[in-house]
Amino acid sequence: MAAAFVLLAASPAWAATAPEDDALSRQVASLAGELRCLVCQNQSLADSHAQLALDLKQQVRDQLAAGASRQQVIDYMVERYGDFVLYNPPLKPSTWLLWFGPLLMLGFGLALLWPGRRRRRGARRVP
């Protein structure tokens, strides 16, 4: 009976904080989806369960709870960890390798394969 009374007495407090916590959790989840896990590197903070990712999510939560804007949190993370922490880094000279590196590697691989392909074609033509 006493436990039921305590739960009923506390329920207005839960109701008052639930929407705010829910909104904060949605903001944290949204922002964590845009930031890259520095340990996993191919997962967002939202998807990663690495200890560093959990710590960074907590930092995001703390900053948002303290009243920082979304852009202020992003600026803080970029200042501390560089543009690599963003899943969609800005296009500028320091991030050209992130944007164009895969294309350069593909071109390099094709350039390595091309001469071998030409030799094989030439070998088939000569009887």
pLDDT (tens digit, 9 = 90+) per residue, 20-53? Answer: 788 899 999 999 999 999 888 789 999 999 999 9
SS3 state at 114 = helix
Does some domain include residue 4? no
SS3 state at 88 = coil
Does residue 81 sit in the same domain as residue 95?
Answer: no
Does some domain include residue 2? no
Does residue 43 sit in the same domain as residue 86?
Answer: yes
| C-alpha closest to that of 88 among 12, 19, 15, 36 | 36
Does some domain include residue 1? no
58: domain CATH number?
1.10.8.640
Does some domain include residue 22? yes
Which of 19-23, 64-68, 120-124 reaches the highest mean pLDDT? Answer: 64-68
